[in-house]
């Protein structure tokens, strides 16, 4: 690898919930640099979550993230002319990156409602252990379990 490792930037907590994870979510929701629009979408989604779930939005958010964050994933590795899917544990930052990506993919995939409602619905479904993002996590877990025989190829 050439050059130095990029310095890890420290993200400021969001203004309303004082959470770095919510701030990271806002950055993932943001399109074309429109951060204020992304903040409005996320905060509206959190208000909808509070109304529908009847619990504080951060509790629903934390529970949903716990249900969506993956523990293992498969990575391709070429060994002797054949490609193997090797199950590997997911490191800290990547776990959240995958979870946010799956949530947004599921929310953006449902059309016909405002983004705040779709995002809130995905978080509520995630907190209940349902929804497309939880299904994606289960699929990744299943794939890793199916390829457990190739775990010895991991470095």
**Per-residue confidence at 113, pLDDT binned at 50, 70, 90?**
very high
Cα separation, 104 vs 144, in Å, equals 23
| Residue 154 predicted with pLDDT over 80 | no
> What percentage of the chain has pLDDT greater than the value 70?
99
Q: How confident is the model at residue 81 (pLDDT cuts 50, 70, 90)?
A: confident
Supply 148's token pair: 């457990």
Report the CATH number at residue 81: 1.10.455.10
Count how many domains the chain has: 1
Q: Is residue 62 part of a domain?
A: yes
Q: Alpha-carbon distance 25 to 101, whole Å? A: 9
Domain limits for position 45: 20-153
The mean pLDDT of the chain is 91
3 in a structural domain: no
Q: What pLDDT does 69 receive?
A: 95
- For 58-75, b/e burial (b = at least 16 CB within 10 A) is bebbebbbebbbbebbbe
Query: In this structure, is the dihedral angle defined by the CA atoms of residues 90, 96, 102 and 103, taken in order, positive or negative?
Result: positive
- Does 141 reside within a domain? yes
* Per-residue pLDDT at 145 exceeds 90: no
């Amino acid at each position: 690898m050439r050059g130095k490792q990029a310095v890890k930037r420290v993200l400021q907590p969001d203004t309303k919930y004082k959470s770095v994870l919510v701030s990271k979510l806002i950055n993932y929701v943001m399109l074309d640099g429109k951060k204020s629009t992304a903040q409005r979408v996320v905060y509206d989604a959190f208000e909808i979550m509070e109304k529908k779930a009847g619990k504080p939005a951060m509790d629903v958010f934390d529970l949903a993230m716990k249900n969506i964050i993956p523990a293992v994933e498969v990575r391709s590795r070429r060994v002797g002319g054949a490609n193997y899917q090797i199950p590997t544990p997911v490191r800290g930052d990547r776990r959240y990156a995958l979870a946010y990506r799956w949530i947004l993919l599921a929310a953006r995939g449902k059309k016909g409602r405002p983004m705040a409602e779709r995002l809130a619905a995905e978080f509520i479904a995630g907190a209940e252990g349902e929804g497309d993002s939880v299904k994606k996590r289960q699929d990744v877990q299943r794939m890793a379990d199916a390829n457990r025989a190739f775990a010895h190829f991991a470095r």
